Structure 1
Amino acid sequence: MPSIQTRTSGGSVHHLLSGSYTNRTLFLLAFDTVAKTLTLNNTVPGFGLHQYVTTNAARDRIYATAMSEPPQLFSWSVDENYKFEHLNTVNVTSSSCYFSDDGQYAFSAGGPTARIHKLDEDGSIADQVYEMLYVPEQEVPNVDKTRNSVLYGAHGFDVNVNKKGFVPHLAWNSIFMYDIADNGTAKLESINLSPTEGDGPRNSFPSKDGKLLYVITEHNMRGKFTYRSNTVQQSRDGQYLFTSTRGWNNTEANGWVAAFQLDKKGYLKKEQALTYYKAPLTLGSAAGLRVAFWEDETNSNPKGLTNYMYLSDTSKGYMYILGWTPSSNTISEVASLQYPDNASPYEAVWLD
């Protein structure tokens, strides 16, 4: 595998890469923490509707899933000059939503199946080692395996530092927990039912020590409007959780981001959020959110911004950069960009 390197952006500019829910292109964006601008730096040819992109630990390999057919996974290399080279494309049983890796294996899930692939020496996706089925094997050829199946099937696949794998499954209303062996196979350890009927667990985030798993549900957000939540993320210092929610098929229901405080053990101090940020738009099918891993060295105010995060929108094709200021418990918009050619960002990854 490639050695871990530190990519530096040379000052206040940081880059993130996204695909699109409606466009086969990858988009390289540049966020300037001083100018407070988000700009389109470059585009990279893609191979599908790449709704989810991520990197390895070295941030020199890119992995993506696609909502387009056929179900496939994709890998690229990226160098210090942001030159991308497609490594390979791998066919899988069903369209995957999220993707993760531990440097040796790749983990993906979607709808009726989840799977584990070996990673090659060059970081590309190699042979499938193991596959988990959430329907009887004889039914796999007949069930929905398109992007629609992730709305009620397996949604993601995260592995913590203790080699425990977690697959949220919306229809089962459960988190499947596996023990991941050294050879890449998975042993089912437990099926963990969500506390409330109809929750639909969607996205998970393992704590750094592996003792906790943070989960956000998708199906139980009701009221005057129907909402669907998307993402749960932890702040860089581990003291806060951020969650995102989108309005669902209603132009009057704006999306939201919430911040929750954690205690020293990592549990919620209160079930109520510290604060909410109301997005300018519904966020469409997106509300993707990921906290930047880097510290803003251009910020000299000790009571100022401590975390940046992106927030994506498919209703009008916007990417927002939000800032978290714990001294005032505020989430604010810092910058935004509307994508060209009717492209709609779903998820992105910080490269530096």
Structure 2
Amino acid sequence: MDFLVGTFYTPKLFTVRFTPSKDDSKCKLEITHTSDAIGGHSWLSLSFDKKFLYTTVWASPPAIAAYRIEPNHALTHLNSKPVRAMSGYVCCSNTTLYSAGGPTGEVFSLNPDDGSIGPLLQNLEFRDQGNQNDGARNGVAHGDFGGLRHGAHSVDLSPDAKSLYIADIGHNCIWNYSVCPDQGKLNQRQKWIASRQNDGPRHTWPHPNGKILYSVQEHSCHVDTLSISKQATLELISGKRIIPEDKDEKDYWADEVRLSRPISGHPKYLYASTRGLEKETKGYVAVFGLDEDGLVRGEAIDMFETVTSGGIANAIEPAPMVEGQEGVEYMAMTDSQEGYVFILAFDGKKITEVARTQLLGEDGMTLAAATAVWL
């Protein structure tokens, strides 16, 4: 089982191979390819056919990029396009690429012949132009990242690609758009204000039934379940804390929310990860049960304490189910503090680490692992 990993600061992309086993001690994780990149790639998004990879580019000036995935799962750069502010996240349909970061976002067409990024179709604006304080923040832990710590941070399509959701930390909201069927341009539908004043929506993730959207709150360390009405508007159903009750949310910043990926049927579990703000504060991965409709059942089944704080990552990405091992779910977790890439396993009761590797540069220095996508 291969997956790709990017870094925040290094112009390299890594192809990593996980070999699962019913005996956890025999699980293996190894880097099979290191591909040249054009910058640090903090976020990765695969085309539906998994022939192309689209990425953010942490560089000056900021950009987004496209790569072709070769048969051996190495990567070849296709092209890049400038964006106005550092992108935090990209996602794509069959025809269109979406980017969001800080005060702005962009919509680009995709070239059908070679998968490269085509012309700019639309600019998106999130900053309140009349508010002079609606800008970059100073003094936040780990830095402001060009506005990502106080602005738009993610962009996700609904399963039918008719809606798009952008989580905005600074405006404490989720921007809800309808997608035009011809070119993929966006029309704003709703600005959903988060349920707590200190939430800071960071990432969202849709349930495959198209009726539920999950939102992880960076500041309050909650994950919220939102209903999607027939008119495609959002409304809060419930919220769950994703760090232990005896921990202070001010010591953490939540990172990711994802669902399990069963071979058939509905997702059984929701996973949410949190980072420690300081190096000595370890992060967590929480897991919750889901019913058939995507509603969270009860409190967390387990909260796994991570090896490090996670740095600015601790991003999790559930793997496809392994045939013959339906009783266990695997996920990749990336760590920027020490450059680790982990494989975690969940058996329905406990999360455990079953494999790890470390991203190292030619000089032996650790590289800040960012996010992963499974091929």
Shift of 1:71: 1.0
Q: Which moved more, 1:20-29 or 1:221-230?
A: 221-230
1:80-101 deviation digits (Å, cap 9, x = unpaired): 2224221101111111111111
Structure richer in strand, relative to its length: 2
Separation in 2, partners of 1:162, 1:64: 19
1:308 aligned residue (319, 330, 343)? 330
Separation in 2, partners of 1:215, 1:193: 12
1:297 aligned residue (313, 323, 327)? 323
Tell me the equivalent position of 1:231.
Answer: 256
Mapped pair 1:50 → 2:41: yes
1:23 aligned residue (10, 15, 21)? 10
Separation in 1, partners of 2:102, 2:249: 29
Secondary structure of the 1:96 match is coil
Letter in 2 for 1:200: G
Shift of 1:67: 2.2
Secondary structure of the 2:7 match is coil
Secondary structure of the 1:274 match is strand
2:269 aligned residue (221, 240, 244)? 240
Mapped pair 1:254 → 2:282: yes
Q: Which moved more, 1:153-162 or 1:195-204?
A: 153-162
Tell me the equivalent position of 2:172.
Answer: 173
Identity %: 27
Tell me the equivalent position of 2:239.
Answer: none
Going from structure 1 to structure 2, the CA distance change for 1:262 and 1:298 (only over 3 Å counts) comes to closer
Separation in 2, partners of 1:241, 1:194: 20
Equivalence map 1:270-289=2 (5 Å): 270=298, 272-289=299-316
Shift of 1:193: 0.6
Separation in 2, partners of 1:240, 1:224: 23
Equivalence map 1:1-352=2 (5 Å): 14-34=1-21, 35-121=26-112, 122-135=114-127, 147-160=145-158, 161=160, 163-182=162-181, 183-221=183-221, 223=248, 226-237=251-262, 238-251=267-280, 253-270=281-298, 272-292=299-319, 294-297=320-323, 299=325, 304-305=327-328, 307-326=329-348, 329-341=349-361, 342-351=366-375
Going from structure 1 to structure 2, the CA distance change for 1:244 and 1:224 (only over 3 Å counts) comes to closer
TM normalised by structure 2 equals 0.83
Asked whether the equivalents of residues 219 and 249 of structure 2 are also in contact (C-alpha less than 8 Å), the reply is no
Asked whether the equivalents of residues 256 and 273 of structure 2 are also in contact (C-alpha less than 8 Å), the reply is yes
Shift of 1:137: 6.2
Asked whether the equivalents of residues 283 and 308 of structure 2 are also in contact (C-alpha less than 8 Å), the reply is yes
Separation in 2, partners of 1:139, 1:88: 36
Shift of 1:60: 1.0
Separation in 1, partners of 2:351, 2:172: 31
Letter in 2 for 1:111: G
Separation in 2, partners of 1:83, 1:254: 33
Tell me the equivalent position of 1:3.
Answer: none
Asked whether the equivalents of residues 114 and 157 of structure 1 are also in contact (C-alpha less than 8 Å), the reply is no
Shift of 1:214: 0.6
Shift of 1:166: 0.5
Q: What RMSD in Å do the two structures reach over aligned CA positions? A: 2.1
1:138-196 deviation digits (Å, cap 9, x = unpaired): 999x9659833111100011111151110110111000101111222211111101000
Asked whether the equivalents of residues 33 and 298 of structure 1 are also in contact (C-alpha less than 8 Å), the reply is no
Separation in 2, partners of 1:266, 1:19: 30
Separation in 2, partners of 1:210, 1:273: 23
Tell me the equivalent position of 1:11.
Answer: none
Separation in 2, partners of 1:181, 1:224: 39
Asked whether the equivalents of residues 244 and 288 of structure 1 are also in contact (C-alpha less than 8 Å), the reply is yes
Secondary structure of the 1:148 match is helix
Asked whether the equivalents of residues 96 and 147 of structure 1 are also in contact (C-alpha less than 8 Å), the reply is no
Separation in 2, partners of 1:76, 1:274: 38
Asked whether the equivalents of residues 317 and 343 of structure 1 are also in contact (C-alpha less than 8 Å), the reply is yes
Asked whether the equivalents of residues 108 and 118 of structure 2 are also in contact (C-alpha less than 8 Å), the reply is yes
Say which structure, 1 or 2, has more relative contact order (CA 8 Å, 6+ apart). 1
Tell me the equivalent position of 1:7.
Answer: none
Query: Any stretches of 5+ residues in structure 1 without a counterpart?
Result: 1-13
Separation in 2, partners of 1:144, 1:91: 20
Letter in 2 for 1:207: H
Tell me the equivalent position of 1:10.
Answer: none
Asked whether the equivalents of residues 97 and 110 of structure 2 are also in contact (C-alpha less than 8 Å), the reply is yes
Q: Which moved more, 1:155-164 or 1:172-181?
A: 155-164
1:204-261 deviation digits (Å, cap 9, x = unpaired): 101112111111010124718610111000111312100000111241x111101011
Letter in 2 for 1:320: F
1:286-325 deviation digits (Å, cap 9, x = unpaired): 1111111x221353xx5x31x2111111111111100111
Asked whether the equivalents of residues 116 and 129 of structure 1 are also in contact (C-alpha less than 8 Å), the reply is yes
Separation in 1, partners of 2:285, 2:249: 18
